[in-house]
Amino acid sequence: MIEKLKAIEQEVKVLILNNADETEMFRLKYLSKKGLINDLFEEFKTIPNDQKKEVGKYMNILKQTAQEKLDSAQVKFSTDKQNSSNIIDTSLPGDAQKIGTQHPLVLIEKEIFRIFNTLGFSLAYGPEIEDDWHNFSGLNFPENHPARDMQDTFFIEKDIALRTHTSSVQIRLMEKQSPPLRAIMPGRVYRNEAISARAHCFFHQVEGIYIDKKVSFADLKQTLYYFVKEMFGEEFEVRFRPSYFPFTEPSAEMDISCTICKGKGCNVCKYTGWVEILGCGMIDTNVLQANNINPEEYSGFAFGMGIERITMLKYNIKDLRVFSINDMRFLQQFESE
Ligand code: PHE
């Protein structure tokens, strides 16, 4: 038997395996359950006990030789599929990690900060839950006056409501600081409106205020012209229309030529070629007086704009609801930090 084992071992040793198929044939012939080596182990059981030690040694040598040959051939001829699961290829490019993007409203808000910052405006914030004084009375809305219905208000209790505009922060600023004042005040505002492509029950505004000696309507216009040029570029036209707000006199609304159709007429500008972007005016003397600022000495202007509106014009977005439904396909289109 020893001779037979030696012969087989020699045979295994000289065998050359050239590919995966030959390797598999080799495995079946020698090392599978029904293979030659298993058969030899069966035969081994029948030999006299005193020979077992010697024969066993050759059995093991044969098995080891065959197994080593099989192992190295399997590594050599393993398919790509096996390769990737067994071996880490450090030369392959890594899996890209997705980083979050900034919300378009945040991007535009930052741009608004940047523009007004170059004009010396600082930042101020106020609470979203407001009392009647800051949201209405302090801003010269007379009690029971229909102007209070200009904005549909969510009341929390009598005289406490979710702010309907960021103009409330004007009052908070005037209480805390004395002129000269120059600040922008961003934040979320709430109105009890049916949700549609053009309106939402919450949105964002940026309020601006400038109070100093001899501030004029010309200063207001130049400031806002500068803002539009910086935000949208030189090619857009601007116009002021007379308007009414209880806290400004005179009051105006500012339109820019439609950024979507470039003034030709489309459904965003309702075929007028113009879109309203903000309300503004000279701060009413009643508002200054109510906050202990002498209107003989100081004058000022204020403006308030909707961040959603600016963002829609800037990015050509036609439905306001996309800002709050968190659709990743929409959000991923914007820059990250
Ligand atoms: N608060 C006004 C609004 O929400 C906008 C505005 C702000 C108008 C400041 C004039 C001055 O419509």
Residue 323 Cβ < 6 Å to ligand 1:
no
Residue 191 Cβ < 6 Å to ligand 1:
no
pLDDT tens for residues 118-147? 999 999 999 999 999 999 999 999 888 776
pLDDT tens for residues 172-208? 999 999 999 999 999 999 999 899 888 899 999 999 9
Task: Check: CB of residue 164 under 8 Å from CB of residue 202.
Answer: no
What is the spatial distance between Cα 172 and Cα 131, in angstroms, rounded to a whole number?
11
Q: Return the higher-pLDDT residue of 336 and 182.
A: 182
Task: Check: CB of residue 281 under 8 Å from CB of residue 207.
Answer: no
Residue 168 Cβ < 6 Å to ligand 1:
no
Residue of the CA atom closest to atom 4 of ligand 1: 165
Picking from 89, 80, 76, 73, the residue whose alpha carbon sits closest to that of residue 30 is 73
pLDDT of 59 over the 70 cut: yes
pLDDT tens for residues 269-324? 889 999 999 999 999 999 999 999 999 999 999 999 999 999 999 998 989 999 99
Q: What is the DSSP string of 51-93?
A: HHHHHHHHHHHHHHHHHHHHHHHHHHH--HHHHHHHS--TTSP
Tell me the two tokens of residue 24: 């598999």
The number of CA neighbours under 13 Å toward the Cβ of 88 is 2
> What's this model's pTM, rounded to 2 decimal places?
0.72
Top mutation candidate among 121, 148, 165, 206 for ligand 1, by most atoms within 8 Å of CB: 165
What is the spatial distance between Cα 219 and Cα 280, in angstroms, rounded to a whole number?
12
Residues 256-270, mean pLDDT to the nearest whole number: 83
Pinpoint the alpha helices (H) of 78-103: 80-86
Tell me the two tokens of residue 45: 């059981």
What is the per-residue pLDDT for 270? 86
Residue 279 Cβ < 6 Å to ligand 1:
yes
Give, in order, the Cα–Cα distances in Å from 99 to each of 25, 102, 215, 267. 50, 10, 46, 35
pLDDT of 214 over the 70 cut: yes
What is the spatial distance between Cα 145 and Cα 164, in angstroms, rounded to a whole number?
16
Question: What is the 166 CA–ligand 1 centroid distance (Å)?
Answer: 8
Type of residue at 60: N
Query: Which single residue is written with the structure tokens 């949105």?
Result: 203
Query: Which single residue is written with the structure tokens 């600023």?
Result: 173
Residue 223 Cβ < 6 Å to ligand 1:
no
**pLDDT tier, 254 (very low <50, low <70, confident <90, very high otherwise):** very high
